[in-house]
A and B are shown apart, each in its own frame.
Chain A
């Protein structure tokens, strides 16, 4: 399979077409807006957190397939998780998406590992990571987020 087909693999295309937990929910306790100024990607993450547990995770916005699929996968992956566990997973996710290593998968990230192919497309890594940074910001009560650097 070519790199391109690996990037736009079935999972990504399917999540892009049928995004899970997409749209502004009726209520939430935490929200953050992630903006990638260079390409104009904009993602909103809405969380309902009670008793340190991520009861509901939603997102909205208009962005590329990589960004849509990453956000969709993230909401499925995170729902029901404790905030503490999520933060550990977020660290792992950052490691997975670090273009300075060749890691293709990390135990404990499940289907999220599918996003590691984006590392072959350095200009697109931020598309995949933006929603995660927005979610981390939402948890911390920060209204705006960008990807690191």
Chain B
């Protein structure tokens, strides 16, 4: 059983078996990820790319093997297309400040969507402040789907970049990013895809998508916190200036000038999160062995089951009812505030998130302060969905 490989799931909370439905915030990690991290610290602990001694060599090899595993997972043409980052947040900021900043002027436009996480909004607002560029937003409809009939006219001759989320963390909407990328490319606009919530659930093929950049967060794809990768097309990475300055990203330093190292080292200043990168590589191997299409199929089974089960809770209003959806359920229940629900069902062992989920504009659209969000992963079960439903009924009973 896959589920048994996740020690974090084998716990009790308030004396009840943990029902972990907060996977969109962070997933649980399989034993082999934990083992890979421990193995590095126990047997290969050394800095990478910096020593001729054996430990440094084996640490470097493990780190670079992890990059190769991630390249295979994303189907990148080469592991040199991948930059290790702390997560999606850093991936977006890196692209904003290196790639986009050097090609944008006052009055130019950057296009994002209404479904973005704050981490794909604020870096662009900062860039707009720095350059006088203007942020434009692809609107959404009442189901929480992007209004793609408006995309063509939003891609103007002033648009310099588009950055869109693949799967919404708040509503679960799966955006047709391949089509959106093709439309942007027709107008010569490069595209970054925020894959934080897509990679844990869907097969991702960056060559098939033809995206210019794709970024993922390790901790959402069963890997360590503080890890992630940014994919970039080779010609972009070559042309981009470095992000941070420091050790590792140079090939020669004098007080007069510095020659930068080759890609991807150019973007990886300082000692990285070595254990994190190695753990993330183990997560990528785990996902490939499990099979991304098996994971996606199981997700959809759970989504259909949970959609039906939740629809039977009286007074429950679902927020976000897209046709193409990941197993993420945002909802409110008449007469009970989300935080009260969160606290009450925690006592039944059920972990969900409550609030605005770092997507305040989405909730502004719906006129809500926030929601309860149950987000599932392939290791969740139908029985756990039943426990969620029972716990919601219990919360309702308390408030009646």
Interface residues of A (CB under 8 A from B): 2-4, 7-8, 13, 16, 38-42, 62-66, 121, 123-124, 127
Contact = CB atoms under 8 A, between A and B. Distances in A.
Contacts of B360: 40
18 contacts: A2-B347, A4-B343, A4-B344, A4-B347, A7-B343, A8-B398, A8-B399, A13-B398, A13-B399, A16-B399, A39-B339, A39-B354, A40-B363, A40-B370, A42-B369, A62-B337, A65-B340, A123-B343
Contact of A121 (B343, B356, B370): B343
B8 interface: no
Contacts of B139: none
B344 A124 contact: no
Interface string B348-359: 000000111000
Nearest to B338: A64
A66 B339 CA distance: 9
Given A16-B399, A41-B369, A63-B339, 10 more contacts: A2-B347, A4-B347, A8-B344, A38-B355, A39-B339, A39-B354, A39-B370, A64-B339, A66-B340, A123-B343
A63 B369 CA distance: 9
Nearest to A62: B369
Contacts of A127: 339
A63 B337 contact: yes
Nearest to A12: B340
A11 B214 CA distance: 52
A110 to B, nearest CB: 24
B339 A124 contact: yes
A-B pairs, 3 with minimum CB distance: A64-B337, A64-B339, A40-B369
B340 A8 contact: yes
A123 B360 CA distance: 20
Nearest to B370: A40
B371 to A, nearest CB: 10
A40 B344 CA distance: 19
Contacts of A123: 343
Interface string B27-38: 000000000000
A64 B341 CA distance: 9
A87 to B, nearest CB: 29
A46 to B, nearest CB: 20
Interface in B370-400: 370, 398-399
Contacts of A62: 337, 369
Nearest to A68: B337
Contact of A65 (B337, B347, B355, B370): B337
A39 B347 CA distance: 19
B340 A64 contact: yes
A64 B338 CA distance: 7
Contacts of B343: 4, 7, 121, 123-124
Contacts of A8: 340, 344, 398-399
Nearest to A121: B343
